[in-house]
């Protein structure tokens, strides 16, 4: 069963008699564990028509570059083939989403799509829903608890959203059965791109190439996401509760880019982690990971969903902006240009190692992500300028940049989802992070050695 709470009609137009049902794939770029796809199959079967899938390949996604497009195309190439095995043709066309969807929806009984939470994703869905001549239905499949079910307002912190999410977990943590499509669409005469060679497709796109792919470290695609999930559950998950914060050890799932592009379902991850106790994974390890996957991740999605200006300094809590502005004239220990930062040319070896990890792999250890952000605030003359700079670098270099988690975690560096702490220079009452604090907790020399080896090609990324 697909819970009705996941389903929302995006326009008031009725379904109609049509030649096919159209599934517009945008955020959830996978052929399994996908509620939107399964609902689309149900609708096609009920009407006795084929299901056609569509993907709009726009070259104008805000702040996206060749790194992001390469990872996405690697995944879409695999998903195109996986959908074909299920009898669904995935038609990929270059163009603006609303135009592509409207063209492929001609003659469709209805359109089914997945859900997106950023401003651009919502705008695309509004435009497409207005452009098509039939009903458009959205199905949430990239969260455990649908956002409107979890909360109807912007939550203050993890402690306020946690009990609301837990209230719905028994109902939402349910496996998703795959439907069998009765009429395939493989022979429909519809023009689209063949993604068998994603590198060739990328070469033909007019996109920013100043940041290159990182396929040698992180290859896109559901198969690689599944491999990483299996390896994590069988291995490092057992010590996640004790070692997850240590950058030198790197006990992480490395699934964030795959979640960002919808190449793996958070529901599948949650169920496999929950059930890993049968294989000897300690309860505390499972609970800690699920807290991050569900509570922390969906808190970030709540923030972006309820905060249209989440990319703006003005979206930060008033107390945080006030205390940072009050300390604006405090002397900085150093002030660096963006070029110096991106070249990892600071006096801080830990920060430099984190920046090198980010530039060379598109990923950074979670503990260092927070430290990385706090230091940019410390090294920039204005807190508002630091916020803009940090968000721009995050979106530029990270594979999972431009994500609800990116917007929320950058804002966390400036006080979002946190409380006031003891006052400090530059930060006021916003939480700080220091090199000495890292050294007390972790073997930071081991982290630097690990990044040096990775960047110099002596060891593959996990």
The domain segmentation of the chain, as residue ranges, is: 1-141, 143-180+221-308, 313-455
Q: Taking the C-alpha atoms of 193, 195, 197 and 200 in order, what is their torsion angle to the nearest 10 degrees?
A: 40
CA gap 141, 174 in Å, rounded: 12
Residue 458 pLDDT > 90: no
CB atoms within 10 A of CB 61: 17
Residues 6+ apart with CB under 8 A from 462: 228, 250, 252, 254
Structure confidence at residue 459 (pLDDT): 63
User: How remote is the C-alpha of 296 from its chain's centroid?
Assistant: 13
Sheet holding 51-57, edge to edge: 7-9, 136-139, 108-114, 20-24, 51-57, 89-94
Rg value, the chain, Cα: 22
Residue of 103, 105, 45, 114 lying closest to 79 (CA atoms): 114
Residue of 158, 419, 415 lying closest to 299 (CA atoms): 158
Q: Taking the C-alpha atoms of 256, 258, 261 and 263 in order, what is their torsion angle to the nearest 10 degrees?
A: -150
Residue 22 Cα distances to 30, 49, 222, angstroms? 16, 10, 22
Residue of 217, 255, 220 lying closest to 455 (CA atoms): 217
User: How remote is the C-alpha of 391 from its chain's centroid?
Assistant: 15
CB atoms within 10 A of CB 334: 11
Average pLDDT, integer, range 172-177: 97
Q: Tokens for 73, please give them.
A: 């195309």
CA gap 250, 461 in Å, rounded: 10
Residue 377 Cα distances to 8, 132, 425, angstroms? 40, 45, 12
Q: Kindly report, residue by residue over 377-394, the tens digit of the pLDDT.
A: 999 999 999 999 999 999
Q: Kindly report, residue by residue over 316-331, the tens digit of the pLDDT.
A: 999 999 999 999 999 9
Tell me the three-class secondary structure of 216-246, residue by residue.
CCCCCCHHHHHHHHHHHHHCHHHHHHHHCCC
Residue 461 pLDDT > 60: no
Q: Kindly report, residue by residue over 39-91, the tens digit of the pLDDT.
A: 999 999 999 999 999 999 999 999 999 999 999 999 999 999 999 999 999 99
Fold category of 313-455 in CATH: DNA Cyclobutane Dipyrimidine Photolyase, subunit A; domain 3 (1.10.579)
Residue 301 pLDDT > 80: yes
Terminal alpha carbon distance of the chain: 36
User: How remote is the C-alpha of 432 from its chain's centroid?
Assistant: 26
457 pLDDT tier (thresholds 50, 70, 90): confident
Structure confidence at residue 102 (pLDDT): 98
CB atoms within 10 A of CB 86: 17
CA gap 430, 420 in Å, rounded: 6
352 pLDDT tier (thresholds 50, 70, 90): very high
Question: What architecture is the 143-180+221-308 domain classified under in CATH?
Answer: Alpha Horseshoe (1.25)
Residue 201 Cα distances to 26, 94, 218, 278, angstroms? 18, 11, 19, 44
The CA-CA-CA angle for residues 360, 362, 363, to 5°, reads 110
Residue 114 main-chain phi, psi, to 5 deg: -90, 180
Structure confidence at residue 462 (pLDDT): 55
Which CATH code for domain 1-141? Answer: 3.40.50.620
């Amino acid at each position: 069963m697909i819970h009705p709470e996941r389903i929302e009609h995006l326009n008031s137009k009725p379904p109609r008699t049509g030649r096919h049902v159209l599934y517009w794939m945008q955020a959830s770029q996978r052929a399994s564990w996908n509620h939107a796809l399964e609902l689309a199959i149900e609708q096609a079967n009920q009407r006795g028509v084929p299901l056609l899938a569509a993907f709009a390949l726009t070259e104008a996604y805000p702040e996206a570059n060749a790194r992001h497009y390469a990872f996405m195309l690697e995944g879409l190439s695999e998903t195109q083939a996986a959908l074909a095995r299920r009898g669904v043709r995935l038609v990929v066309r270059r163009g603006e989403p609303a135009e592509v969807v409207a063209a492929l929806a001609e003659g469709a009984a209805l359109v089914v799509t997945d859900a997106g939470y950023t401003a651009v994703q919502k705008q695309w869905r509004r435009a497409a829903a207005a452009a098509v001549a039939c009903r458009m239905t959205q199905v949430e499949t990239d969260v455990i608890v649908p956002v409107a079910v979890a909360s109807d307002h912007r939550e203050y912190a993890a402690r306020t959203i946690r009990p609301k999410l837990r209230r719905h977990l028994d109902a939402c943590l349910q496996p998703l059965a795959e439907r069998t499509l009765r009429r395939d669409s493989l022979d429909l005469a519809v023009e689209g791109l063949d993604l068998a060679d994603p590198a060739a497709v990328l070469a033909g796109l007019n996109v920013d190439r100043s940041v290159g792919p990182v396929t040698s470290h992180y290859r896109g695609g559901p198969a690689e996401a599944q491999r990483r999930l299996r390896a994590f559950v069988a291995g490092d998950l057992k010590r996640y509760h004790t070692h997850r914060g240590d950058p030198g050890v790197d006990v992480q799932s490395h699934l964030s880019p795959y979640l960002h592009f919808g190449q793996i379902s958070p529901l599948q991850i949650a169920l496999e982690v929950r059930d890993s106790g049968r294989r000897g994974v300690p309860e505390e390890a499972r609970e800690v990971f699920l807290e991050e996957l569900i509570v922390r991740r969906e808190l970030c999605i709540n923030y972006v969903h309820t905060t249209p200006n989440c990319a703006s300094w003005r979206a930060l809590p008033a107390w945080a902006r006030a205390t940072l502005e009050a300390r604006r004239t405090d002397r900085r220990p150093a002030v660096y240009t963006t070029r110096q930062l991106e070249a990892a040319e600071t006096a801080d070896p830990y920060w430099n190692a984190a920046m090198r990890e980010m530039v060379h792999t598109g990923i950074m250890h979670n503990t260092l992500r927070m430290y990385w952000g706090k230091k940019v605030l410390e090294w920039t003359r204005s807190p508002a300028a630091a916020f803009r700079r940090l968000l721009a670098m995050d979106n530029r270099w990270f594979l999972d940049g431009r994500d609800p988690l990116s917007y929320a975690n950058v804002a966390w560096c400036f006080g979002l989802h946190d409380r006031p702490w003891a006052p400090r220079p530059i930060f006021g009452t916003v939480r700080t992070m220091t090199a000495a604090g890292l050294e007390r907790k972790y073997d930071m020399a081991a982290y630097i050695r690990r990044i040096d080896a990775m960047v110099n090609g002596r060891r593959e990324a996990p």
